[in-house]
Structure 1
Amino acid sequence: MKPNAKSYTLLKNCSNNDNKVNGAPDEAHQPYPGTPCPIPVLKVSDERRFELDIDALEAILLRDSIRDKPLVVVSIAGDFRKGKSFMLNFFLRYLQSSCGTTDDWLGSTDTSMKGFAWRGGAKLVTTGILMWSEPFVIKLDDGQEVAIVLMDTQGAFDSEYTFSDSATVFALSTMTSSIQVFNLMHNLQEDNLQMLQFFAEYGRLALESTGDIPFQKLMFLIRDWSFPYDHPYGQSGGDMFLEEKLAIKEKQPIELQRIRQNIRAYFSDIGCYLMPYPGREVAINKDFDGRVADIDSEFVDYLKTFVPLMLDPKNVVVKEIGGRQVTGKDLLEYFKVYYNVLKSGTLPEPSSMLEATAEANNLAAVLTAKDAYLATMEAICGKGEKCMSPTNLLKFNEKLRADAIKQFDEIKKFGGREFSTAYKNKLMADLDQTFDTIASLNAIKFSEYNKRLCF
């Protein structure tokens, strides 16, 4: 089958991977449309400006299999060269094995690691934001089908990018994900908590606006934890450690107290996991290619616990904004509006991000209502020779139009009634314009139908 324009976008982006790093395609496995691979959705231009690749996002998020499905968006963020992409490839293995339905989801211990590009050393590998081209559709315990989307992010605080650049990537990642893994080395420092301050102020405004906690799951992943005698490796030790770190003390400066209060208030689920050192082979062998056999067994044991903790169907978190589940087509709108606010390279006021959320939220409601209208219209007078008398079509449109407007009104939205009025007017104008096109085509088909009856 000939690939469409979206497929060519994926082909082009997959082919742009750097073949010199681990996980990237090699000459023996050249990508072609349909081959899963990491796709840059937030790129870095030659002028060091971030650019959103809308075509790439559409190719992933608007595919039929997930366009209207709720999403679980898993992102990993943190300082550069701390093993984020390396860890994300274990997420891939788990999902590719049908969410660990077999005990050996890690696969062969003697197989090199493929997926998101990674390598040892001090040089930056990932830039911008990458999204795995093929979301994973799973079924939750309640029978609902959702799609898991994996995102890899540029490491923060390297020598080539500014603090604002790092904050922009971190902000876009956190705003669009339902599970944010904050990957840190050795410890959780105060400056790591400071990175979350922007979201705390946004969270306050969002909570006041909707009554819903704005952010969902935040997992601090501490790599190469060196103090297992104080707090043991794994989730239990991590949660005890996090309780100590987020404890509010009487003599703490007010600013530090407020950060801790806000993190707890505006994320619905906060956790911490302590990972051991993966071993000398991983850390210092420049030829290490990700084979599990070369990783310390203790690290592998805790890896087998951590990955299901994030991705097992009973543990995943569906992305919600304003109390409403986010679908593939919705997430596309959120990416667009958040990028427009963040693209200046400086962090905006939290109120601007709130307005952007309200805009995307209302646009998503317009799309949902319009899609329902179009689906029914398509069924009665769409493809082929389907048609009806213009009088009946007009009556049918009146009902469908009213249903679409009612559906828009019933969707929970950011911004309040006054803010939504402009989007409701847009929906009505779109419906009227769409009907004019449908009515014209229907009139032609109906005329042809009557001509055939005369012969």
Structure 2
Amino acid sequence: MSVQELRNEREGEDMVDDRPRPIEIIIPEDDHKFKLNIEALEDILCDDEVRDKPVVVLSVAGAFRKGKSFLLDFFLRYLGHKKGSRETSRNDWMGEDDEPLTGFSWRGGVERNTTGILMWSEAFPATLESGEEVCVLIMDTQGAFDNQSTVKDCATIFALSTMISSVQVYNLSMMIQENDLQHLHLFTEYGRLALKQSKFKPFQSLCFLVRDWSYPYDHFYGEEGGRKYLDKVLTVSETQHEEIKLVRKHISYCFDSISCYLMPHPGLKVATNPHFDGRLSDIDSEFKKFLFELVPFLLQSKNLVVKKINGNIITGRGLLECFKAYIKIFESESLPEPKSMLEATAEANNLTAQAAAIDKYNKEMEELCGADKPYLAPQKLEEEHKSLRMLCLEQFFETPKMGGDVFSAEYMKKLEIMIDEAYENFVKRNESKQLMNAYRTPAVLCLVMVLSYILSTILDMFGIESLSQTAVLGLYIPLLLVGLWVYVRYTGQLRSVGTIIDNFTSAIWDQALQPIYMKLLQRGLEQAVNIAGTSKEKKTN
């Protein structure tokens, strides 16, 4: 059944009478976005009996077709009985054996029944053990992982449900599996990102409700068996993989309290009878026994959890503002797009292959025309770039990646852009060697020529002609090297010769000229200090 058909069906039911009923407060739209039904929420939360009272919000979330709505109707039956009896000692809240189950819409089969988030239109009054009066609100959520919902749809519904509720019931089938914890990790992290950082944990109470538990000989049904089972599931040990430890630490960090309850199977009549309407007479006695204990475990006065945000108690009117604020966050583009595990793994594979390819390109180009390499002819540089570009793209294509060629096409295109941008930078660096980096080598060689000329002149003055002629060689050899170096720089030919000349002049500067320059500079500074001190003494005297 489509979303619109389900909505029309509910609207038709709503027009029949004004009795309490489920109201769709978060409405899914065709473009996989969600709309807040503000008018309906105001009718519930701004009622005179609700608006200024603290609220307890219980929500059930989990995979679709796992009996969430069916279970919630027993919660409604319990709360309705409490409201009528006002906490008497009577224990017949479960009703008559032949009484059909009413409340949130539910049915058997494989098609989804609940869409968006629904809230029961009636808030149930309750009194805490402290004597404080509160209102209990019940929410039902769209089942996750049906064939019409995206990962973002599931994450948004679960995150909103967890952010709004004070008690989140995580409805699971048969056992708590690792993928259940990973989904919880993803969905709660999505909700945590939407909340502002504070010193308080982001969410309040989480209850793992394990349906159709088949191992009572390991851990018996109920709260105590659930607690022992949960302790075993959430245990963090040194032998576990880091990913597994991270999931458990995250869940423990996110919630103030975490519990677990193990429920037996309700019986074959419930599972296989298409006409089952919730009558207790069709449900196994063992299921009824532990259902009778489960509902008070969550909704008895002493167990109620008042909704708080950052330590502040939330009233009905405050909860309305929370809904408005949260839906705006999820409507915006400020949150990252949640991905399935396949998508996330495929993305990681492609990003890793992409990074390896661009690293190869940069490394090879650095070897070819890096900062310590001489100028390379533009034509030669372009040829090397084209050849290396092809090799890097082939490396990316041949690297095993999840997602297939269609998924990888986007990353291949991005890699091509990254390589072309890197090439432009290498071209600029290469050009700078020709135009701007042409100072050190010729400057050192020119300085050698000047010093050789001065030395030759001094030796001529003292009549030492043999040494003077040797000094003249220090004039012509640098001149020859300058000419050769200029040729290499501007043509890009004989690059190995250019490298030898650069290394030779660097050695002259580092080993001879720079030490002499530093000594002369130091002496000059010392003399300047001495002269300044002498002048100061004369003025004082």
TM-score by length of 1: 0.68
CA displacement at 1:255 relative to structure 2: 2.2
User: Cα offset for 1:344?
Assistant: 5.7
Contact between 1:247 and 1:260, CA under 8 Å: does it hold in 2?
A: yes
Deviations 1:336-382 (A, max 9, x none): 111112136995489xxxxxxxxxxxxxxxxxxxxxxxxxxxxxxxx
Rounded Cα–Cα distance in structure 2 between residues aligned with 1:165 and 1:18: 22
Q: CA deviation at 1:211?
A: 2.1
SS at match of 1:18: helix
Q: Which has the higher helix share?
A: 2
Aligned: 1:51 with 2:35: yes
Relative distance call for 1:92 and 1:205 in structure 2 (3 A) is closer
**Aligned counterpart, 1:360:** none
CA distance in 1, matches of 2:337, 2:109: 36
1:320 and 2:334 equivalent?
Answer: no
Question: Residue 18 of structure 1 aligns with which residue?
Answer: 9
Cα deviations by residue, 1:4-58 (Å, 9 ceiling, x for unpaired): xxxxxxxxx9x95637xxxx987xx96433x100000011224443211111111
Q: Which residue of 2 aligns with 1:451?
A: none
Query: In structure 1, what is the equivalent of residue 241 of structure 2?
Result: 253
Q: Deviations over 1:104-134 (max 9, x none)?
A: 0011110111100000110100000000001
Letter in 1 for 2:26: L
Note the C-alpha offset of 1:73. 0.3
317 and 232 in structure 1: CA distance in 2 versus 1, 3 angstrom threshold:
same
User: 1:329 and 1:30 mapped to 2: Cα distance?
Assistant: 26
- Aligned partner (choices 56, 79, 95) of residue 63 of structure 2: 79
Report the Cα offset of residue 256 of structure 1.
1.7
Instruction: Report the residue type matching 2:9 in the other structure.
Output: D
Superposition TM-score, scaled by structure 2 size: 0.58
Structure 2 residue 289 is the aligned partner of structure 1 residue 298? no
Q: Once the 2 structures are TM-superposed, how far is the Cα of residue 163 of structure 1 from its aligned partner?
A: 1.3
Asked if the contact 2:159/2:190 (under 8 Å) is kept, the reply is no
- Give the deviation of 1:141 after TM superposition: 1.3
CA 1:224/1:299 → structure 2, altered by over 3 Å: closer, same or farther?
A: same
Distance of 2:59 and 2:116 partners within structure 1: 13
1:415 aligns to what? none
- Mapped to 2, the partners of 1:49 and 1:201 lie a distance apart of 16
Following TM superposition, by how much is the alpha carbon of 1:268 offset from its aligned partner in structure 2, in angstroms? 1.2
Within 5 A, what are the aligned runs for 1:145-224? 145-198=133-186, 199-200=188-189, 209-224=197-212
Q: State which structure, 1 or 2, has the greater radius of gyration over its C-alpha atoms.
A: 2
1:206-355 alignment runs, 5 A limit: 209-343=197-331, 348=336
Give yes or no for contact 2:164–2:322 (8 Å, CA) kept in 1: yes
What's the counterpart of residue 486 of structure 2?
none
Q: How many residues align?
A: 329
Partner Cα distance (2:260, 2:235) in 1: 14
1:215, distance to aligned residue in structure 2 (A): 1.4
> Residue 73 of structure 2 contacts residue 104 of structure 2 at CA under 8 Å; is this kept in 1?
yes
Q: Measured at CA, do residues 347 and 192 of structure 1 come closer, stay the same or move farther in structure 2, by a change above 3 Å? A: farther
Give distance in 2, aligned partners of 1:330 and 1:103: 34
Distance in 2 (alpha carbons) for counterparts of 1:86 and 1:25: 21
Partner residue in 2 for 1:39: 23
Q: Deviations over 1:210-248 (max 9, x none)?
A: 322231110000000111111111111111111111011
Note the C-alpha offset of 1:202: 6.5
Write the deviation string for residues 253-288 of structure 1: whole angstroms up to 9, x where unpaired: 212212212222231110000100000100000000
The aligned counterpart of 1:65 is 49
Q: What 5-or-longer segments of structure 1 have no aligned partner?
A: 1-12, 351-455
CA distance in 1, matches of 2:285, 2:311: 42
- 5 Å-filtered alignment, 1:298-447, equals 298-343=286-331, 348=336
Matches within 5 A, 1:80-99: 80-98=64-82
Structure 1 residues 148 and 52, CA, compared in 2 at 3 Å: closer, same or farther?
Answer: same
Q: Distance in 2 between matches of 1:177 and 1:117?
A: 20
Please give the per-residue CA displacement for 1:146-193, whole angstroms capped at 9, x wherever unaligned: 000000000000111111111110000000000000000011111211
> How far apart, in 2, do the equivalents of 1:304 and 1:84 lie?
16
Q: 2:95 aligns with which of 102, 107, 120?
A: 107
Deviation at 1:194, TM superposition (A): 1.6
3-state SS of the aligned residue for 1:237? helix
